[in-house]
Structure 1
Amino acid sequence: MSDSGSGGVRLDEPAVIGRRVLRLRTELGLTQRQLAEPAYTPAYVSTLESGKVRPSEAALRHLAERLGVTPEELVTGRPARLAAELRLRLTDARRALATGAPEDAAPLFRALCAEAVEHELPGEQATALLGLGDCLLESGELDDAHECFASVERLLADEPLPRRVPAIRGRANAHRLTGELRYACYLLETALDQLNASGLQDPDALLLLYTASIAPYMDMGAHERAAHAAELAIALASRVDDPALLAGMHRGVARTLIAQGRIAEADASLAKAQDLYRQLHIRTELAHCHWMRGYVHAQDGDLERAENELRTAYDMLTAKRAALFAEQVEVELADVLRRRGKVREAEALLRPLLAVGTELAEAAENAGNTGNAANTATKATKEIPEARALRAGRGVVHVGAAHRLLGLIAEECGDTEAAEEHYRAALPLLERAGVAGDLAGLCCLLGDLLRRTGRTEAALDAYRTGLAHRATPGTTTLGPAPAPPLM
C-alpha cells in the first residue's frame, strides 16, 4: 500500500522503505553507523530499517546521498531515470508507427503501457495509450481505438484541457470513421468552446481541434463551417512550431479549398503538407496527401493524374498495413477507374470491400472477357472475410460510396434491379452518417432510376428526400458554431 507524499509522489509504506534502505546499505558494505553519521545515529537507522518510522525529507536526502540514489528512488523504488527512459522508448514507438505498420507498433505501445502502470507513471501510460489508439485507428479496430482514447481522457481528467486534446481528437476521429459525424463535431466543438471560455488559448491544441473538425464538417456538407475552421487554423499557424501540426493544417485546409473550387490553391496546400510529412518520415500522413491530391485532380477532371496519386496512396497504405485507410482509397480509386472507362477493374476493387460480395465474380470476369459487360452485376451473394471488408460501423461513409458506385456500374450495364438494390443499401448508411451532399446526390440517382422504370410516385418521394437534405446541408444537425479564439 502506498500513500501520497509532497509533490504528489507515491510513497511506499515505512516497512518497504526500511527494507530498501537495508538492502542498499548491505550492497554497499556500509554499517548503520557509517550510513547515519554525521547527522543521525545508528539507532535511528535501525529503527528506520525495521519499518517503525517514516524518514523525514531531510533524512531522505541524507540517506539517498550516502546510498547513491535519489530520494524518489528511495521512497518509491523507481529509478529516477526510469521515466526519462520510458519517454525515450515511447518516442521510438511513435517513430515505428510513423514509418512502419500499425500492428508492429501496437505491441511496443502495449508493453510500454504495462510498464507505466507497473511503475505508477500515469503521464507515460496516457502517452502509450494514445499511441496504441492511433495504431488501432489505422488498422480499422475502431471500438478498441475509441476505448484507448477514452482511457487517456480518464487518466488525464485532472490535467489542463490542452493535455487531453489529442485524446479528444482521436475519439472524434473514431466516431467519424464509424459514421457518427454529428457526435464527432460535438466533441470537437465542445472542447473548442471550453478552451476559449477558460482562457486556455493553447495554439497547438486549438490548431489540432480546428484541423480535426474540417473532415466531419465537409462530410456533413457544412462547407461554410469547414471553411471558417480552416481560416482560424491558418491564423493560428504562425503561433505553432510543430511541423506535424502544420502539415495536418495544410491538409485540412485543402479540403475547404476543393469545395470552393480553388483547385490550384488546394494542390499547393497539399504540396506543403507533403513536404513536411516527407521531412518527418510520417508515411501514413504522406499517403493521405497523395490521396487528397488524387481527389483534387479527379475534381479538376485530370483523371490520369488522379489515378496515379490514388495508386501511390494505396501502395503506401498497403505497405504500412493501414487497412481501413487503404480500403477507403480503393473506393475513390474505383470511382476514377469507372470514369476512365475501366469498369471491370473498378468493380473488381469494390466487390471484395463489402462484407457481402457477388457470387458470380468469376462469371462477371468471363462475361467481360467475351464483351458481355451487361451481365457483370448480379444479385447473388457470397460471404467475404470481414477482416478485409468495409461495413457499417467501419468506414460507413465509404461503404455507402461503394454501394453507390456499384449501383452506377450496374445501371450503366443495364441491370436496373441490381442498381436499385445498391442505391437502397447506401441510403440508410449515408442517412446514419448525416452526409447531406452525398445523400442528396444518391436520392437523385434513385429518383431518376425509378422514373425511368415507370414508378413516378416512388421517384417523387426520392426527389423530395434529396431536396430536403440539399436545402440544409449540415445546418439542421449542428448547433451554433464554437466561439473563435482571441487571436
Structure 2
Amino acid sequence: MDHSESSSPVLVGRRIRDLRVKLGLKQQDLASTDISASYISLIESGKRAPSDAVLGTLARKLGCSPDHLRTGRDDHALEDARLKLSFAEMALRNGDNGEALQSFGELLAKPALLDAPMRLRARIGQATALEKLDRIEAAIPVLEELAKDPSLAAGSDEWCRVSVALSRCYRNKGDVSLSIEIGERALATLDALGLDVTMDHIQVGSTLIGSYLMRGDLTRAHLLADKLIAAAEEHGGRSGRGAVYWNAGMVALSRRQLPEALALTERALALMADDDNLRHIAMLKMNVAWLELQSEHADPVRARDLLEDAGQTLAELGSAVEQARCEICLVDANTRLGRWDEAADHAHRALGLLSSGPRVEAVGARVRLAEIHLLRGETDTGLQALHAATRQLRHFAPSYETAQEWRHIGDVWKRQGRTKEALNAYEQALHASGMPATYDPARAVSPQHQS
C-alpha cells in the first residue's frame, strides 16, 4: 500500500474510529466548539476528509500524532526509525561507512516506517555511503533516481548535494563529459532561480572545476575559479572559501604555476583548519604535501610529516582510493629522502588498497615501485615492473590523468637509456592529452610525380 492509499479518507476515518473505541471514548468526547459530533461521524465513515487543523485537534485528544492518523505509521516505530537514521548519519560523518550503509539499507527496506523527509535523508545517506566505499556503480543509480524525484526542489540543500555527488561520481567513473553536463546544468538551474551567488553555486562550481581539469579544459577551469573566488570572498564562510581556494590551487597546478598553486592550497588549508570535516582537512594536507614535493626547493621532511598526519585520518574516514593516493605521495617523499625500503612498503600498501578494481592510481604505484627497484640496482625486476605498468595503462581511456602517467613512464624509460620505449610512452602521453600527430606530407606524393 502506498502512502496516498493509506491517507484515503476511508482509512483515516477508520483509524480515528478504532483508536476512539480502543480508548473507550464516544464521538461526543472528540467534539469541540469547532468540530461537531455529527462531523466526526462523517469523518469516521470516510465521507469527509479532515483538514490538517482538525486532524491535529483529534490527534491531541486521541493521544497520538497527526501523522499516525494520516498514514497509520506507529508513533513509537517512527521515533525509533528517526533515532536510527540519526545514528546512521552520525556513523557516516565519523567514517563508519559500512555500518552507515547497512543502517540506511535496513531503514529503506521498511519504507512504511519513514515519513517523506526521512526517506529522502536515508536515500541520500545510502548514496553517500556507497560513494565513500568506492562503490560508484551502485551509487549512481540511487543518485539518478533522486535527481528525478519531483519532491526534490531545485535549489534546495538536498538537491545541491545530489547534483554535486552525481557529477562527482560520473567524473570518478571516467565519464567526464557527462559529469560536466550535470554540473553545468545545475549551475544554470541555480542562475535561472534568480538567486544571488550562494554556497550552492560554490559547491557545484568547485566540483565542475575538477571535471574541467580532468578534461584538460584549463581555460574554463581558470575562469570559473576566478569567478568563484570573488563570490566566496563576498558570500562564503571559511569552509566555502577554503573549497574554492583548494580548486583554484589545482587550476594553478594544471597551468604549471607551482608557487601559486602551493600558496592557494596553503590558504585553503588555513581557512578549513577549524572545519569539522576532518576528511577534507586530511585531503588538503595531502595536496599541500604533494605540491611541496613538486616545488623547486622541496622539503620532503615537511611533506612526509603532513602525509603521515593525513594518512592517519584517511585510514578512518577516507575511501580506499584516497588512502592509496596518500600512500603514493608517501612513496615520493620517502624516495626523495633515500628511504627506499619505506617507499616500497608504501607502494605495496597502495596496490593493496586499489586491488578491488582497475584504477589509474595503481599504474602510478607500479611505476614508482619500478623506480625503486632500479634505484636499488635490481634492473631486471625494475624493467619487468615498468613493462607491467605500461601494459596496464593501455587499458585506460585517454585522459589528463593517463597522460601524466604516460609521461612518468616515458621519463623512467629515458633515464634507463631506452629511447624506443620512452618515445612510445611520450607519444601515448600526447595522444591522451588530446594532441594528435601532425600529418605526414610524404603520404600525399604519388610515385609518378616524384622526380
Give the TM-score normalised by structure 2.
Answer: 0.79
Q: Deviations over 1:249-280 (max 9, x none)?
A: 34333323444221552343233243232xx2
Matching of residue 147 in structure 1 with residue 144 in structure 2: no
Q: Provide the rounded CA distance (Å) in 2 between the counterparts of 1:320 and 1:103.
A: 11
| Structure 1 range deviating more: 76-85 or 440-449 | 76-85
Deviation at 1:312, TM superposition (A): 0.9
Matching of residue 464 in structure 1 with residue 427 in structure 2: yes
Equivalence for 2:446: none
Equivalence for 2:205: 210
Question: Identity, % of aligned pairs?
Answer: 22
* Contact 1:137 1:174 (8 Å CA) reproduced: yes
Q: Provide the rounded CA distance (Å) in 2 between the counterparts of 1:206 and 1:14.
A: 43
Among 350, 354, 363, the alignment partner of 2:351 is: 354
* Contact 1:98 1:283 (8 Å CA) reproduced: no
Paired amino acid for 1:53: K
Equivalence for 2:401: 435
Equivalence for 2:317: 320
Q: Provide the rounded CA distance (Å) in 1 between the counterparts of 2:249 and 2:423.
A: 36
Matching of residue 266 in structure 1 with residue 264 in structure 2: yes
Q: Provide the rounded CA distance (Å) in 2 between the counterparts of 1:155 and 1:12.
A: 20
Q: Provide the rounded CA distance (Å) in 1 between the counterparts of 2:426 and 2:318.
A: 41
Q: Provide the rounded CA distance (Å) in 1 between the counterparts of 2:433 and 2:7.
A: 64
CA RMSD of aligned residues (A): 3.7
Matching of residue 230 in structure 1 with residue 237 in structure 2: no
Give the TM-score normalised by structure 1.
Answer: 0.74
Deviation at 1:306, TM superposition (A): 0.6
Q: Which runs of 5+ in 2 are unaligned?
A: 437-451
Q: Deviations over 1:189-227 (max 9, x none)?
A: 332234335646661221111111233333444444333
Equivalence for 2:283: 288
Q: Deviations over 1:349-396 (max 9, x none)?
A: 2235436xxxxxxxxxxxxxxxxxxxxxxxxxxxxxxxx434544xx2
Q: Which runs of 5+ in 1 are unaligned?
A: 5-9, 356-387, 474-487
* Contact 2:123 2:142 (8 Å CA) reproduced: yes
Q: Provide the rounded CA distance (Å) in 2 between the counterparts of 1:104 and 1:3.
A: 29
| Structure 1 range deviating more: 239-248 or 296-305 | 239-248
Q: Provide the rounded CA distance (Å) in 1 between the counterparts of 2:192 and 2:159.
A: 16
Q: Provide the rounded CA distance (Å) in 1 between the counterparts of 2:435 and 2:191.
A: 28
Equivalence for 2:153: 159
Q: Deviations over 1:21-71 (max 9, x none)?
A: 12332354421233246566655544543x342334376466446445565
Paired amino acid for 2:429: G
Q: Provide the rounded CA distance (Å) in 2 between the counterparts of 1:430 and 1:409.
A: 24
Among 101, 122, 132, the alignment partner of 1:128 is: 122
Q: With a CA cutoff of 8 Å and minimum separation of 6, indicate the structure with the bigger relative contact order.
A: 1
Q: Give the count of matched residue pairs.
A: 426
Paired amino acid for 2:332: D
Equivalence for 2:354: 389
Q: Provide the rounded CA distance (Å) in 2 between the counterparts of 1:322 and 1:403.
A: 20
Matching of residue 417 in structure 1 with residue 383 in structure 2: yes
Query: Alpha carbons of 1:156 and 1:128: their partners in 2 closer, same or farther (altered >3 Å)?
Result: farther
Query: Alpha carbons of 1:29 and 1:264: their partners in 2 closer, same or farther (altered >3 Å)?
Result: same
* Contact 1:110 1:132 (8 Å CA) reproduced: yes
Deviation at 1:309, TM superposition (A): 0.7
Equivalence for 1:374: none
Equivalence for 1:192: 187
Deviation at 1:438, TM superposition (A): 0.3
Query: Alpha carbons of 1:103 and 1:243: their partners in 2 closer, same or farther (altered >3 Å)?
Result: farther
Q: Secondary structure at the match of 1:276?
A: coil
Query: Alpha carbons of 1:62 and 1:467: their partners in 2 closer, same or farther (altered >3 Å)?
Result: closer
Q: Provide the rounded CA distance (Å) in 1 between the counterparts of 2:61 and 2:15.
A: 14
Q: Secondary structure at the match of 1:155?
A: coil
